[in-house]
Amino acid sequence: MPANSKYLNPSFWPRFSKITAAIIGGFIVSILFHLAIASWFDHVNVIITSTYSSLILWIGLMIMAFLAKSGWKIWGIYILISIILAIVIFYGKALNPLV
């Protein structure tokens, strides 16, 4: 039984934006999230924990990207989250230089 044609997207760019947002954007957000935690807490424990939790977070972000209606909108959300996490990393390193 073929898929319903209203759910198929024939255009290349929306499909490409969802796939890249899922793979690249999800990976960047997942890694920046764990770096932000490591900048505020003991980085050794975070690195050990991030071995599995980053994979789980990345898979969750991939699923979220494919459930979104627009790939460009999810790219914007991932970029906004990345900027916020980069600011958290910056202030974490500035306020906790010994951690």
Q: Tens of pLDDT along 3-55?
A: 777 766 668 888 899 999 999 999 999 999 999 999 988 888 888 888 899 99
Structure tokens at 4: 């319903």
d(CA 21, CA 29): 10
Q: pLDDT band at 99, cuts 50/70/90?
A: low
Judge whether 61 and 34 are in contact, CB under 8 Å: no
8: enclosing H helix or E strand: none
Domain ranges of the chain: 13-95
d(CA 79, CA 49): 24
User: Would you give the DSSP letter of residue 25?
Assistant: I
Give, rounded to a whole angstrom, the gap between the first and last alpha carbons of the chain. 57
Instruction: Please tell me the predicted confidence (pLDDT) of residue 28.
Output: 97
d(CA 25, CA 28): 5
